[in-house]
Amino acid sequence: MNAQSRHVDNLLSQSFQFSNGARLQNRLVKSALSEALGNLHGHATPELVQLYRTWSASGIGLLVTGNVMIDRRALGEPGNVVVEDASGHAMLSEWAQAGNRNGTQLWMQINHPGKQAFLGLNRETVAPSAIGFGPALAPFFPVPRALTSSEIEDLIVRYGRTAGLAKAAGFKGVQMHGAHGYLISQFLSPHHNQRDDDWGGDAERRRRFVLAVYGEIRRVVGADFPVGIKLNSADFQRGGFTEDESLETIRSLANAGIDMVEISGGTYESPAMARGGAKASTLAREAYFLDFADKVRKEVAVPLMVTGGFRTAAGMNAALASGGLDLVGLGRLMAIEPQVAERLLRGEDPLHQLRAIRTGIRMVDESASMEVTWYTRQLHRIGRGRAPVPNESGLKSFLLDLLTKGWGIFKTRRMRARAGNPAQPEALSLQPSARIDA
């Protein structure tokens, strides 16, 4: 196949138009990757600006930020950006400008971690119900306190406020983080949400929170501003959110007017987002959640993006050709090859392929956190204007992370103590990075 015919066949380079008129220059999207590059005030930094300038130089269609928190009392990890008021607006605008170049658009992913917040990071951890993690993660995460109804109402307003501030700073859209076991996902899950009030008890009431958050964001940003969600196809956990409930949730959000649904899957306890589920039909295709996307496609008319497992131009094109999705989401590849979109848009494969990241320490290698730590280091290198090191040692990355994360938690707490911030936690604990993804 010559270069010209490759280009003609390359569905990745086709533009995509949302029904509200917003247009992406091609079908490639960088999915959210938590950068952990916020400063101690939770504001954006020059490193974030540099990282997004690098990515937008590739001509990719859409960049979605790593998760940005709606409440500084509820961080998911040290270094999260928090957007809850006008402080930090100037850097936020610079960040937006850095991502909105060369025809690329930048959307902000908006999140609250709920119970997936490390021990020692926040004064208190809240969730739909006071249910802790199972034995593998319990040492690293406190048992949460159940939210009161008025706190739930306040959080809904906060999601809207953050979206409004993102719009004011120049972001071109927002995405609710409804996947991977964070607060919205906890509300949807029959395992994590065992409330028996307006916010839980049956599937419809468990869906109320995500619909209320969507409604509030839409009210604040208006009809023409793109609003999407990243949602699990399933939690891959016994008693968790199922494909049937996910489909119903997508149907409800589509009826309410959502502009785009990104499909992923898994939680900290069952990290399918980075490994796929166990089904043979899933493993047979390059990306993990394509079978579920096909099901959604048959039932609901809403723009769909799928993230997880895409590695080759042919695999991405085949997925688009199957008609099961509109947009191709890329995570880890963007961290080791920030210009990968250029090659893919030419119909070429990435220069680098992902490899398993290992430290040689069995306990560490069995937890999925190692990968996140390793990829985060690559993001930090790009943010400092350096090239990623795709063959960097897993052990080196792990040991350096132990030091920097412990130091990061220590600095966050000391800064809060000095500021008399009520979110200051009681005692310092240095923990291995149990984060699996954000």
Shortest distance in whole angstroms from residue 157 CB to ligand FMN: 22
Q: What is the dihedral angle through the alpha carbons of 227, 183, 237, 280, rounded to the nearest 10 degrees?
A: 20
Burial class for 298, CB neighbours closer than 10 Å (0-12, 13-18, 19+): exposed
Shortest distance in whole angstroms from residue 433 CB to ligand FMN: 11
Q: Which residues neighbour 191 within 8 Å (Cβ) at sequence distance 6 or greater?
A: 131, 235, 237, 238, 239, 240
How crowded is residue 11: how many other Cβ atoms within 10 Å of its Cβ?
A: 16
18, 301 contact by CB (below 8 A): no
**Long-range own/partner contacts, residues 186-189 (CB < 8 A, 24 or more apart):** 186/114, 186/115, 186/127, 186/128, 187/128, 188/232, 188/241, 188/245, 188/249, 189/235, 189/237, 189/240, 189/241
Whole-Å CA distances, 293 to 270, 312, 313, 405: 20, 19, 19, 36
Shortest distance in whole angstroms from residue 22 CB to ligand FMN: 20
∠ CA 192-295-25, rounded to 5° = 95
Whole-Å CA distances, 45 to 26, 182, 220, 343: 28, 25, 26, 29
Residue with Cβ nearer ligand FMN (264 or 359) = 264
Residue with Cβ nearer ligand FMN (155 or 330) = 330
Shortest distance in whole angstroms from residue 64 CB to ligand FMN: 8
Residue with Cβ nearer ligand FMN (147 or 438) = 438
51, 334 contact by CB (below 8 A): no
Residue with Cβ nearer ligand FMN (195 or 365) = 365
How crowded is residue 355: how many other Cβ atoms within 10 Å of its Cβ?
A: 10
Residue with Cβ nearer ligand FMN (44 or 333) = 333
Q: Residue 238 corresponds to which tokens in the numbers above?
A: 């016994």
Residue with Cβ nearer ligand FMN (359 or 376) = 376
Shortest distance in whole angstroms from residue 185 CB to ligand FMN: 10
Shortest distance in whole angstroms from residue 334 CB to ligand FMN: 8
Whole-Å CA distances, 47 to 50, 170, 296, 365, 388: 5, 18, 38, 29, 14
69, 113 contact by CB (below 8 A): yes
Q: Which amino acid is at 25?
A: Q
Residue with Cβ nearer ligand FMN (237 or 264) = 264
Shortest distance in whole angstroms from residue 85 CB to ligand FMN: 21
Residue with Cβ nearer ligand FMN (195 or 235) = 235
As a whole number of Å, the end-to-end CA separation of the chain is 40
The residue at minimum Cβ distance from ligand FMN is 331
Residue with Cβ nearer ligand FMN (68 or 91) = 68
In which region does residue 252 sit, left (phi positive, over 0), alpha (psi from -120 to 50) or beta (all else)?
Answer: alpha
Residue with Cβ nearer ligand FMN (179 or 220) = 179
Shortest distance in whole angstroms from residue 141 CB to ligand FMN: 17
Shortest distance in whole angstroms from residue 427 CB to ligand FMN: 27
Shortest distance in whole angstroms from residue 371 CB to ligand FMN: 6
Shortest distance in whole angstroms from residue 307 CB to ligand FMN: 4
Whole-Å CA distances, 139 to 92, 178, 271, 294, 434: 35, 25, 18, 39, 10
* Residues near ligand FMN, by CB under 6 A: 31-34, 66-67, 109, 177, 179-180, 230, 264, 273-274, 307-310, 330-333, 371-372, 375-376, 437-438
Residue with Cβ nearer ligand FMN (6 or 311) = 311
Strand 173-178, strand 126-127: pairing: unpaired
